[in-house]
Amino acid sequence: MLRTEKSGTWTAVSEPSQAEPPPPELDIVSRVVTGSTVVTVTGEVDTEAAPALHAALTTALDDTAGTCVLDLTTVDFLDSAGLATLVTADTYAAEHGKSLRIAVDSNSPVIRPIEITGLDIVLRLYHTVDEALEASNRPRRSEH
Tell me what pLDDT residue 13 has.
40
Q: Output the average pLDDT for the chain.
A: 82
Tell me what pLDDT residue 66 has.
81
Report the C-alpha gap between 23 and 18 in whole angstroms: 13
The model's pLDDT over 22-37, given as tens digits with 9 standing for 90+, comes to 345 789 999 999 889 9
Is the pTM here over 0.95, yes or no? no
When pLDDT is averaged across residues 7-35 and rounded to a whole number, the result is 60
Tell me what pLDDT residue 14 has.
38
- 41 SS3 class: strand
CB of 56 closer than 8 Å to CB of 89: no
- 59 SS3 class: helix
